[in-house]
Each structure stands twice: as structure tokens, then as C-alpha cells.
A = this chain, B = another copy of it.
Amino acid sequence: MANSLRTPEGPGVLIRIESVTKRYPDGTVAVDRLSMEIPDRSITVLVGPSGCGKTTTLRMINRMVEPSEGTILLDGEDIQRQPVTTLRRSMGYVIQNAGLFQHRTIVDNIATVPRMLGWGKQKARARAAELMERVGLDTALAKRYPYQLSGGQQQRVGVARALAADPPVLLMDEPFSAVDPVVRKGLQDELLRIQEELGKTIVFVTHDIDEAIKLGTMVAVLRTGGHLAQYAPPSELLSSPADAFVEDFLGGDRGIRRLSFFPSGRLELTTGPVIPLDATAEQIAAPDALWLLVTDADGRPLGWSEPGDLAAGDIRPDRLLSHGRPFVPGTDSLRVALDCAVLSPTGWAVAVDTDGRVTGVVSQQTIGEAIRSAHAAGRDDEKVAG
């Protein structure tokens, strides 16, 4: 979960929404004096319950909806100043069910905007093929039609199509909400990867708070009536919800979920209780620990045992207690480390390197301390910022 550790890189503001109100002809106020700064080259997520004005906000950015009041600036310039088609072509747009052109092949769908911009057929298709690979689609699918693709694949085509003309901005309206959870997770990971590689500015709408927290560099929680309830990085959202509405919307497990944003790299590991399968009686007795982790010849974990149950030279792997899931310090977050510790019968989490070789173990207590110091660091940051 590379993303879990991402921090806002604090770059410039690309899109500035200034006191924007949208009143529909029937009187509905969908967005009410909304002001927001959307940072460059990061994912900003709009999240909130149904009907809170997410889609309206998003569509005002590419002028598919015109604000009733207020202005929106793109790169410092009022978007009203540009011809609407030029504006739109500088922004990719991805929606639920992809909105593909059912009458065009995949490659032609993706090549739509380049072709409109006057690229040659050859060039546009080459670009489309390149993008298919980038979004993780087999190029063998190029000549197929949308109906021949699964929902997840269609959604990938939607993303590729939006990226085709290399627009600096990507607007995404609940793009993954119609696919099943497993595929959805894949698409989210893919999006994070693509964002990291291409550095687009993405405005992402969802009503799923977990998705918002997973994807967002910044998350804007809207409440019905188009009011901005809170606009903050996800970890701050989890630790300090602005009000009861946001807290409620965030749901349970806030503490544990927040741990996703803390790295496990600084956890102090100990190798004391780690012994090899062919450990001598001294090695077994030495550590003065309640539990010992036995590893195989390669250093991969086999399982836990109480020292008293081990006989030197006759350690039976099938008699050991499961070592549970190991974690990779540096790559995994504190959340994973804690989960490993909780799942482990001994309360100790096993740390391994990327090859799966044990690099040490860490107790739930140590993890707890790490969590506290991370909290403290967070508080200090706030103080510095304040």
C-alpha cells in the first residue's frame, strides 16, 4: 500500500473554487457558497451522502454545469474565459459505468479526443495502445466492443480514454461504484499507480468514505445542501473529525484505520526470540523470552513455541503455533503491523524483508508505543503549523 504512506506534497493550487453557489432552475440549492483549493498533482476526493452536491461541484469545474454565483479559477485563470470545448479537452472525465461509446471499438473509444484534436489515425491509435497498457488492459482487447468487456475492464477503458490527450486534470465521478469490491480494489490501486507515474491533478467523487481515505491526498466531506463539512488530509479527518456529522460519516475503527498513514519502518525490532530450526539447547534457553519464533534454514518463519515445548535437535514444525501474517517494515503501515500482532497467538508480530526472511519480531506493546509517539509527532506538527 504505497499510498497509505503518501503525504500531501504541498504543491501549488491548480483549481481554486471561490464561493461558488449552484441553484438549479427548480430552486434546489445543490452547492452553497463552496470555497476550496484543489492542489496540483494530487488526488482530491469529494465525498458525502447522496444528493450532497458532489456531481454538481465536479461538473462546474468543466462547465457542464454553470455556477449561479462565484468563480472557479484554473491555474489562476477564470474558466469562463476559455472556450468551453478547449476547457473540456484539457480535462479528462470518467464516470460510473464508464460511459463508453458502445458503437466504437476499445481503441477508437480511447482515441476519441486525440482524433478530435486532429491527430492522425495512426498516431491516435498508437497512443491508445500505449494507454491500454498503462491502465493494465491487454492490447488484444483493442478491437473489441465495450459490451464484450467486463465492468472493470470497461472502467479501465474509461480511464484510458480520459488520459488520451494527456490532460493535466482528471475529473472522476464515482468511477468505480458499479464494480464489485474485488475489482474495485484493483482499480483503486491502479489509479494510485497511474497518478504517481503521471502526476495528474485528479478530482475524484465518491460516496464511499473508505475509498476517499484510500485515494485522497485531500478529502472534502460535503453535507447535504452543498456545504463543506471538512476539508483535510485523510489522517487528520480520522483523528480529528470536525463535527458529529463527519465523525458519523467516517464510521468505526477510526483509530486503527488512521494507522494506515503511519509507517512501520521506525519500529524497533528484536531478533532475540528468533531461533533456527536446528537451534541448540543453549540457543533455546538463552533468549529469556516467553515465546520463541522458529525459522527454517533460509530464515523464513515457521511458527511460535514456548521455550519449554522445544527440544533441541527435535523441533517439529507441525507442532509450532502459526506465526500469523508477517509484515514488511517500511512497506507496510503500522496498521498492518498491529494487525499481525493481534492475529499472532503470542502478541508478537513477525517482521520480514521483501524476500520473506525474518528480520525480527516486535511485541504488541512496542507497536502501541510507536502508535503513541506517532500521535505525539502529529500533535507536534499541529503545534508547529498552528
Contact = CB atoms under 8 A, between A and B. Distances in A.
Contacts of A209: 181
A372 interface: yes
A379 interface: yes
Interface residues of A, number: 42
A39 interface: no
Given A239-B343, A372-B345, A372-B347, A49 B255 contact: no
B50 A336 contact: no
Q: How many copies does the complex hold?
A: 2
Interface of A: 49-50, 180-182, 207-209, 239-240, 252-256, 258-259, 321-322, 324-325, 335-336, 338-347, 364-365, 368-369, 371-372, 375-376, 379
Contacts of A252: 336, 339
Contacts of A180: 50, 207
A253 B339 contact: yes
A364 B368 contact: yes
Given A180-B207, A365-B368, A379 B255 contact: no
A342 B256 contact: yes
Given A345-B376, A347-B368, A325 B254 contact: yes
B338 A379 contact: no
Nearest to A324: B255
A368 B253 CA distance: 16
Contact of A338 (B181, B256, B325): B256
Contact of A255 (B50, B208, B321, B340): B340
A255 B346 CA distance: 12
A301 to B, nearest CB: 16
A346 B372 contact: yes
Given A180-B207, A252-B336, 9 more contacts: A181-B207, A254-B325, A255-B338, A255-B343, A256-B256, A256-B342, A258-B343, A347-B372, A365-B368
